[in-house]
Amino acid sequence: MKYAKSNLTRGYANKILTIDLHTGAIDAKVLDSRARDYFIGGRALGLYLLYRRINPNTSPYAPENPLIFSPGPLAGVPNFPGTSKCMALSLSPHTGIPGVSNFGGHFGAHMKFAGFDVIEITGKSEKDVFIVIDGFKNEVTIIEAPKIEHVFELEKFIADKFTQEGYDKKNMAFVTTGIGATNTTYGCINSHYYDPTKTADGQKGFFRTKQAGRTGLGSVMVDKKIRSVIVMAEYPHGENPYGAADWEKAKRAGSKLSKVVREVDPVSLKMHRKGSAGLISFMNKENYRSLPVKNYQYGSDPRAEQISGKFYADNLFDHGGMDGCYPGCSLKCTKGGWVTLSAGDQKGTKVWVDGPEYETACGFGSNLGIWNAEAVMEANWHCDNFGIDTITAAVIIGFLMECFQRDYLSKEDADGLALTWGDDKAMLHFLHQISNGETECAREAGKGMISLVDWVSERYMKRTGLGNPEKKLRKFAMQVKGLPFSLYRTHRSLSMQASYAAASDIGAHHAAAWLIKVDLLGAFPTLQDRARALVTYPRVRLGNDNLGLCKLPWVDVFNPESEKVKDTDKYINPASQEMYAEFYNGMLGTDLTWEKIYEQTDRDINLQRVMNAIIFGRNTGEKDWVPDRAIGPTDDDLYDAEKNFHDSEISKILGKPLEYVEKMQAKEKRTILMNHRKDQLQKLIHAYYHERGWNENGVPKVETLKQVGLWDFLNKETQTKITEMNS
Ligand code: SF4
C-alpha cells in the first residue's frame, strides 16, 4: 500500500497505520484529533485503541485482539535526553487483562519518521510474515518471512536482506520475537537498532536490542505469525524537523536537562558505567534488605557485590562507543558486554549481550542464589534470543527452586532436572526447556505462575498422598493478577506493596509506581502521604509512557536544584520536571505546568482500571493484593533471619519493651507482625482508592470518570456496567 506522508506537526505524524493480517488490508488513516488531544499518545492512546477493539469476551489469542505500537509526540527528538520510548500494547495472554510494555531503541522514532503515530495490527496471518514500512518509498508491504526461531539469527537475516536491497543499517529499526514466545505466554518483543559506535571483530557497528518484556506481547506477535515489523526511515531535516510549536524552547529544555545529566550522573549513580544494575548495591544495604534473594525470602547477601553494577562495570561491560539507546541521551545507560556461551547449540561462541539491567541481574542472580555475573549475562542473552521476558522467566524459576527447597517438587517431577539454589547450569538448561517446550514441567512453567501453582500442587499430592499444598504455595508464588513480580523485595516498603497490589494495573510491575527507593529514604512519613504518592508518581511515570519519554533521566538523576524547591515533594525531582514541561510546551504549543501536564495521565489510568473492572467484575479490588511473601516472613525461620528488625517492629506495635518481645515465641510474633502489616496495606489501598475517586471495591466512580472527561469516550455498554458496579 502506498501512502501520503506529511511533515511532523507538534511531534505528531497525524496518521495511524492499521493492518488486518487476515484480509491483507492495509490502511493509513488520519489520526482522530479528538482522541489524539485527549489521550496525547503512547500508552494512553494505545489503551484507547485497544479498548475500542476488544469486548469482555475477547480472548488474547483472538484475531480481533490488536497488537499496537505507539510512541508518543515527544518520542524521537534527539535534542532532549531519553526520547527513545515506544509502547507495545495488547490484551495479555499471560494475564488476560490489557498488557502494556515500553521499550527503547529507534523503533518508535522511525515509526514517526516513516509517517505513523500508531501501528495497529489485527487478524492472523496463515504464513510467517514481515511487515515492512518503508518511509523512503512511502509504502507498506506484507511479505513472506522465513521461519527463523532464534532472534539473533533472524536479526542477521533481516539486516543482510535489507542491506542487499540497498538500505543503510542506520535507517533500519525492527521488532522481533522467537520460539520462546510460541511456547510460553510471556514472549518478549525485541527492539533492534543499529549502533554505529561499538566494535565487533575489528569492525565498527552492530545491531543492539532493547525489550518490551512484560505481559507476553511477543506471544501475541508470534501468534499472529509476525516474524518482524521493519521500519525504514531517516531523521527529518529542516529548521524545525519535528514540527515543534516553539523549536528554540524545546531545544533549550533539552540542553538544560542534558547539562544536569552530564554533571550529576558521573558524581552520583554512574549509570553511564554501571547501567541500572548499579541499583543492586542500594537495595542490598543492610538497613533496606530490599534485594530479592532466593525467591524474595531474604533481602540482602554479602555476595551481591559479585553481581553488582560495579562488578559489571569493572569486569564485563564494554565501555567503548556510546551506550545511549537513542541519539541525544546523555545518560547512556544501555550497557552490555561479551560472554562465551556455556549452554545450548552455540556453546563456546562469544556473543554480545545487551544487559543485564537491574531486573535481569537480580532475577537470574540474587533471586536464584546465583552469584556468577557471566551466567546472568548468558541467561539474559538466551531469553532475548528465545524471545521471552527475563523477569517472568527468572521469577518463575525462583518459585520452582523454592518448591524444590521445601520438597514440594522432586527431580522426577522435572524429568530428572533438579532446580536448586545457585545451580546456574540447571537454570540455563531449564531456560532452554521452557523456551522449547521440552518437558511437562517446562511447559507448565511456560504457562505462568497461577496455573503452575496448581500443577505443582497436583504433582505433590500424587507423589506424597498428602493434602493439597496450594494455599501454602500461593504465599510464595510471587505474582499479582498473574504477572510475576519485578525484582523488589517489599517487606520494608509499604508503598511498594501497594504499588504492586493496586497501583499497577498490569500486575506486579514497577512501571507505574516505583516508590521503593524514595520510600526507603523516608519520603512518605504518613499513610496519607503514601496514598498521595501512589497517585502523583504514576502520573509522571505513566505520563512519560504517553509521551514517548524514558523515565531514567528524570528518576535516576537527582537535580541539585530540586533540594531548593519549597513546599513540594523534592523526591519527585521538581527542578528537572520544569525542563520536561518546557520541552512539552515547546513541542506542543501549550503553556502548562508540569503538574498539569502529568495530571492528564489520570485519563488513561482510569481507562485501564475500567478495562480491568469490565474483565474482573464489580469486585475487581479483590485482585489488588500481594502474596504473603511480599509482606513479611512466611515462616518462623524467616522471622528469625531478621529477628532484631522484626522484634523492634513488634515492640512498637504492642507498645512493650524489647526485652518483653524477645521472650515471645517466633510463631506468635510472626502472626502479630503479619496481621499488622496486612492491616496497614489494606488501609493504604483503600486510601489510594479514595484519592483516585474509586469506590471501596476499586471501581472508578461515574463522577470521577466524568470529571476527568473519560466518560464520553466510553461506549454505552461500558457506561452501563460501570454504573451498575457503583450501584
Ligand atoms: S536513559 Fe538509558 S534507557 Fe533511557 S533513553 Fe537513555 S540510554 Fe536509553
pLDDT tens-digit series, residues 182-205: 999 999 999 999 999 999 888 899
The answer to whether the CB of 65 falls within 8 A of the CB of 107 is no
- From the list 420, 316, 426, the residue with the least C-alpha distance to 374 is 316
* Distance (Å) from CA 280 to ligand 1 centroid: 18
Cell of 108: 518508535
Question: Is residue 329 within 6 Å of ligand 1 at its C-beta?
Answer: yes
Q: What is the pLDDT of residue 139?
A: 98
| 696: confidence class by pLDDT, cuts 50, 70, 90 | very high
Cell of 372: 556468577
Strands (E), 415-541: 479-480, 483-484
pLDDT tops 90 at residue 568:
no
Task: Summarize the confidence of residues 293-299 as an average pLDDT.
Answer: 98
Task: Summarize the confidence of residues 104-128 as an average pLDDT.
Answer: 98
Question: Is residue 210 within 6 Å of ligand 1 at its C-beta?
Answer: no
* Distance (Å) from CA 680 to ligand 1 centroid: 36
- CA distance linking residue 367 with residue 24, whole number of Å: 45
- CA distance linking residue 499 with residue 516, whole number of Å: 9
| 649: confidence class by pLDDT, cuts 50, 70, 90 | very high
H or E element that contains 17: strand 15-20
Q: What is the pLDDT of residue 360?
A: 98
- In the block, cell 522465513 appears at 146
Q: What is the pLDDT of residue 494?
A: 98
**Per the confidence metrics, is the pTM higher than 0.85?**
yes
Q: What is the pLDDT of residue 98?
A: 98
- In the block, cell 520462546 appears at 180
Question: Is residue 333 within 6 Å of ligand 1 at its C-beta?
Answer: yes
**How do residues 487-504 score in pLDDT, each as one tens digit?**
999 999 999 999 999 999
- From the list 115, 98, 106, the residue with the least C-alpha distance to 30 is 115
Question: Is residue 324 within 6 Å of ligand 1 at its C-beta?
Answer: yes
pLDDT > 70: percent of the chain = 100
**How do residues 123-135 score in pLDDT, each as one tens digit?**
999 999 999 999 9
Length of the chain, in residues = 727
Q: Whose CA is nearest to atom 7 of ligand 1?
A: 324
pLDDT tops 90 at residue 567:
no
The angle subtended at Cα 351 by Cα 182 and Cα 178, nearest 5°, is 10
What backbone torsions phi and psi does residue 371 show, to the nearest 5 degrees? -115, 30
Bridge partner list, 17? 28, 119
Q: Whose CA is nearest to atom 8 of ligand 1?
A: 325
Task: Summarize the confidence of residues 416-427 as an average pLDDT.
Answer: 98
Q: What is the pLDDT of residue 37?
A: 98
**How do residues 393-421 score in pLDDT, each as one tens digit?**
999 999 999 999 999 999 999 999 999 99
Cis peptide before 356 (omega within 30 of 0): yes
**How do residues 44-76 score in pLDDT, each as one tens digit?**
999 999 999 999 999 999 999 999 999 999 999
- Sorted by sequence, the CB contacts under 8 Å of residue 292 that are 6+ apart come out as 299, 362, 366, 367, 398, 485, 487, 488, 489
Q: What is the pLDDT of residue 701?
A: 98
Amino acid at 421: W
pLDDT tops 90 at residue 566:
no
How many CB atoms neighbour CB 168 within 10 A? 11
* Distance (Å) from CA 90 to ligand 1 centroid: 24
Cell of 486: 519485578
Question: Is residue 326 within 6 Å of ligand 1 at its C-beta?
Answer: yes
Q: Is the dihedral of CA 639, 643, 645, 646 positive or negative?
A: positive
Distance from chain centroid for Cα 121? 21
Q: What is the pLDDT of residue 150?
A: 98
Pocket test for ligand 1, best of 550, 551, 576 (most atoms within 8 A of CB): 550
Q: How far is CA 320 from CA 17, 323, 349, 619, in A?
A: 38, 8, 21, 53
Amino acid at 392: T
The answer to whether the CB of 95 falls within 8 A of the CB of 568 is no
Q: Is the dihedral of CA 432, 434, 438, 439 positive or negative?
A: positive
- From the list 192, 207, 361, the residue with the least C-alpha distance to 274 is 361
Which ligand 1 atom is the nearest neighbour of the CA of 275?
2
Q: Whose CA is nearest to atom 5 of ligand 1?
A: 82
Q: What is the pLDDT of residue 712?
A: 98
Mean pLDDT rounded to a whole number for the chain: 97
How many CB atoms neighbour CB 565 within 10 A? 16
The answer to whether the CB of 138 falls within 8 A of the CB of 3 is yes
